[in-house]
Structure 1
Amino acid sequence: MNLTELLEPIAQFFRSLNLPEPITHWGHPAMMGIVIFVMGTFVGITGWKGRLANEEAVIIENRSNHRKLAPWMFTFMALGYTGGLLSLVMQQEPILESPHFITGTVVLGLLAVNGLISLSGFGGEKKQLRTAHAILGSLALAIMVIHALLGLKLGLAI
């Protein structure tokens, strides 16, 4: 059984709700746009402010805010990834084939690695792991922008 066949019963349930076509077609991009551009921007900015600030209070506040929201952003990204696949199945479009799918997979992978680095306590507060975390997070955010543009292209094509 392939993934489309596995998701089809769920897609049938959502199709039975007779959701307006714009919601089925553009719901995923709208919700994920919020996650990427609002949460992603906040997580990125607080991460870099916590890294570059000189005042201890500013460092603590920004690292705290980053630490609080980054796991939620990852959770919403993972749920959105699943929702995007389901949206394509609902629209009877191919999945796992587009550049949008590839960039989404890369972003989730980078964020997962970044989360593991953080959960490790940066390997005992190793400066190199903090630097890797900052670079991987920034790379993930840059790819998210490309991902959004590829998603818009995909949405306009179907």
Structure 2
Amino acid sequence: MSEFATRLSEWLDPIADVFRNLNVPEPIVHWGHPAMMGIVVLVMGSFAAVTGWQGRLLTATDDALAAKKRTDHKKIAGLMFLFIAMGYTGGILSLVMQNQPILQSPHFWTGSVALGMLAVNGLIAAFGFSQGKGFRTVHAYLGSVALALLLIHGIFGLKLGLSI
């Protein structure tokens, strides 16, 4: 894995050089990724989780409101996944820009697993819902676990940011 990480860093270094040449202040290079991703996870993630669960739980009492909550969830969850995927690549690029090792920290691995879980969850939503109610249940719990993992990921990121 170390050899792959070295090759990936070498491949990304020309891209990192472009950003280095923009003379972005060091605090932004160092803390920009965590600040932006913190907003995405805490604001968009909590909104996606709350509206998703409301859409699921309100079905028994108010079908119209439940449908609106499911629509809101669908809109924000897709955008959240897009921002997290972009932030994932930005985080790796930030480490390359700071000449730090990549693919080694718990922050990298929790981010990779969470992104994978969210991708699977999106596929379940896109293709599995028509297959039965069980897929909706898996989707609800998988999304909740992914969000909890992203909170742990943030703690690892804070620890990583303070160590470099």
Give the TM-score range, shorter chain: over 0.9
Matched position secondary structure for 2:121: helix
One-letter identity of the residue aligned with 1:16:
N
One-letter identity of the residue aligned with 2:140:
A
Aligned pair 1:58/2:65, yes or no? yes
Partners of 1:76 and 1:150 in 2: CA distance: 19
One-letter identity of the residue aligned with 2:138:
A
Alignment coverage as a number of residue pairs: 157
Aligned pair 1:75/2:59, yes or no? no
Partners of 1:147 and 1:154 in 2: CA distance: 10
- Deviations 1:79-132, CA, capped at 9 Å, x for gaps: 00000000000000000000000000010000000000000051x251110000
5+ long unaligned stretches in structure 2: none
Identity over the aligned pairs, expressed in percent?
A: 61
- Counterpart of 2:27 in structure 1 is 22
The ranges of structure 1 where at least 4 consecutive aligned residues each deviate by more than 2 angstroms after the TM superposition are none
Output the aligned Cα RMSD.
Answer: 1.0
Matched position secondary structure for 1:120: helix
2:147 to 131, 141, 150: 141
5+ long unaligned stretches in structure 1: none
1:108 to 109, 115, 129: 115
Matched position secondary structure for 1:119: helix
Aligned pair 1:89/2:96, yes or no? yes
- Counterpart of 2:43 in structure 1 is 38
Partners of 1:102 and 1:117 in 2: CA distance: 22
Partners of 1:121 and 1:149 in 2: CA distance: 32
